[in-house]
Structure 1
Amino acid sequence: MVANKVKMEDEDSLDVQFWLSQPASARIAELTRLRHEYYIWLIGEFPSQMEKTVMRRKI
């Protein structure tokens, strides 16, 4: 196990760098896992259906 000491203000940029270095499939898998855990914590179960909503930001 390796531990690195970082300043709190540098932590966000390190997180962004880490996730940008991961393949899209790994990022989506982690998002799905976190969403699943959140719904179980929030309502005690994962919904059988979810509404699909996609929003694009104007650049």
Structure 2
Amino acid sequence: MERKIAKVVNHVKMDDEDALDVLFWRSKSMAERLQEVVRLRKNYFTWLNGAFPEKMTKVITTRINDF
């Protein structure tokens, strides 16, 4: 069987990858970032509970600083 697609591997240092991620997200508008966060939340809750909740409960926890 002849391979028609070549395998490609790119080795990237983790520090370089982190910098590229930051540059990518900083290039997006606030609306685009928020839209992606909402999409990820919907995917997570649907995966976890089978459906996205109609209402979200706001929970705030505080702790005393240890330093």
Query: For structure 1, which runs of at least 5 residues remain unmatched after alignment?
Result: 55-59
TM-score (norm 1): 0.71
Cross-structure match for 1:25: 31
Query: For structure 2, which runs of at least 5 residues remain unmatched after alignment?
Result: 1-9, 61-67
Compute the displacement of 1:53 (Å).
5.6
Cross-structure match for 2:4: none
Which structure's residues are more often helix, by fraction? 1
Higher relative contact order structure (alpha carbons within 8 Å, sequence separation ≥ 6)? 1
2:43 is equivalent to residue 37 of structure 1: yes
Q: Aligned in 2, Cα 1:13/1:53: closer, same or farther, shift over 3 Å?
A: farther
Cross-structure match for 1:13: 19
> How many corresponding residue pairs?
51
Q: Which runs of 4+ in 1 moved over 4 A?
A: none
For the aligned residue pairs, the C-alpha RMSD in angstroms reads 2.1
Question: Max radius of gyration: which structure?
Answer: 2
